[in-house]
Amino acid sequence: MGAVKTKRMPRAVREQQMLDAAVRTFGRRGYMAASMDEIAELAGVSKPLVYLYLNSKDDLFTACIRREAHALTEAVRSGVRTDQPADRQLWDGLLAFFTHTAENPDGWSVLHLQARIHGEAFAAEVAAMREEIVAFVTQLIVVAAREAHRDPDLPEREVAGLAEALVGAAESLAAWANATPGVTARQAAATLMNFAWAGLGDLMEGRPWAPPAP
């Protein structure tokens, strides 16, 4: 390690630079094609230093997933003020989600694509984040239902299903928005809000859509 010349810099700062370079490289090239040489060069450090700090390509990828998952959940949480009406909370949450995924397309690619297609250990990391977001959305729908009726008769299972549907729709739409030139975060959020709110809203007000007889 004696031959490696790097400017003195706190380890935490240098580690973030490595993670920035890694997220960018994994997100754009894919996990398999990304090379540790490229990541080190992009971070402006030697390859041995990357291994010293992050241990292996697998550990580096795991660290990327954790950092990006934390940043995304924080962005959504901090975008929502729980003293607002339910539709405003949903809108703010969606706008925060699509703004974050649009501003961090490489991070979103790591979470939504790369982490899912390269084995069960990485997929489990993303699944943990997803559960947290589903729980957050479930809570939001429960609050909305409580606002609508004092004694909501939406069964717990229906609420859980709605939260799964909403999160799946948002994931799918974010991937599409990032791959489609000219779609803004605000447009993507408005599309999903349009799709979801009137439906959820009607449901909350006790006006479910009625299926035809079997």
Q: Is 167 in the site for a copy of itself (CB under 8 A)?
A: yes
Amino acid at site 12? A
Closer residue to a copy of itself, CB minimum distance, 64 or 162: 162
Q: What is the DSSP string of 34-82?
A: --HHHHHHHHTS-HHHHHHHH-SHHHHHHHHHHHHHHHHHHHHHHH--T
Sequence letter at residue 136: F
| Contacts to a copy of itself from residues 71-130, by CB under 8 A | 87-88, 91, 113, 116-120, 122-123
Q: Is 157 in the site for a copy of itself (CB under 8 A)?
A: yes
User: According to the binding rule CB under 8 A, does residue 195 interact with a copy of itself?
Assistant: yes
CA–CA separation, 70 and 64 (whole Å): 10
CB-CB contact of 98 with 91 (8 Å): no
Which residue from 23, 162, 178, 185 is in contact with a copy of itself, where contact means CB under 8 A?
Answer: 162
54 C-beta neighbours (distance < 10 Å), count? 21
Q: Cβ closer to a copy of itself: 30 or 105?
A: 30
CB neighbour list of residue 157: distance below 8 Å, 6 or more residues apart: none
Dmax over CA atoms of the chain, in Å, equals 77
Stretch that binds a copy of itself, among 12-20, 44-52, 57-65, 184-192 (CB under 8 A): 184-192
How many residues in the chain? 214
Q: Is 142 in the site for a copy of itself (CB under 8 A)?
A: no
How many residues interact with a copy of itself (rule CB under 8 A)?
58
> Among 2-10, 18-26, 44-52, 173-181, which window interacts with a copy of itself (CB under 8 A)?
173-181
Q: Which two tokens stand for residue 167?
A: 């999160």
Residues forming the site for a copy of itself (CB under 8 A): 30, 32, 87-88, 91, 113, 116-120, 122-123, 157-158, 160-162, 164-173, 175-177, 180, 182-183, 186-203, 207-209, 211-212, 214
